Amino acid sequence: MERIAVIDFETTGITPSSSCRATEIAVVMLEQGRIVDRYQSLMNAGVRVPAFIEQLTGISNAMLRSAPSAERVMNEVNEFVGTTPLLAHNAAFDQKFWDFELGRIKRTRLQNFACSLLLARRLMPAAPNHKLGTLNVFAGLPHTGQAHRAMADAEMAANLTAHLALELRHKHGLRALSHDLLCSLQKVPAAKINEHLKRHRGF
């Protein structure tokens, strides 16, 4: 499978706006099932972190005061990612913030997002739930650090994606995996996933 940029944001809320912004971003580059490069930074968007978010993430207002500006971080991370295909766990969330923060520096996303949450729902139906931490424990994947910090979560999502790729190869017989294939699989109804995979077997 080609190189994929696995992204995770920490934010001050759920929906991006002038008062709800990103506080941290991490990107890990996944290539042939291994993490080969990383980017991580706190980002100061000039908004206050609510107390419950600080408790959840450990990211405080004091930490953000000395962090680089959101504009500087997004310029750096946009250059780091380039046109590499994107993936996140619960990608609908991270995509919203990626697009919003890119828009503030007059940039536009050119590539699609794959979603390891949607893929896991189809390929790991026996998991107790499809939260990132639960899936990593269920699959016996390495502990990567404190949950709800961007780098730990990005590495967990990358490890999970590598695990799902192995499942597709070994359990379902798919030889050629691509980001486009992942994007198509995540749209297939869970009840029809095995039938869909049979059509791709041997390719």
What is the pLDDT of the chain when averaged over all its residues?
Answer: 95
Q: What is the pLDDT of residues 135-164, one digit of tens each?
A: 999 999 999 988 889 999 999 999 999 999
Task: Output the pTM of the full model.
Answer: 0.95
pLDDT attached to residue 176: 84
Whose tokens are 């979603």? That residue is 115
Query: Exposure pattern of 178-202 as b/e (b: 16+ CB <10 Å)?
Result: ebebbbebbeeeeeebeeebeebee
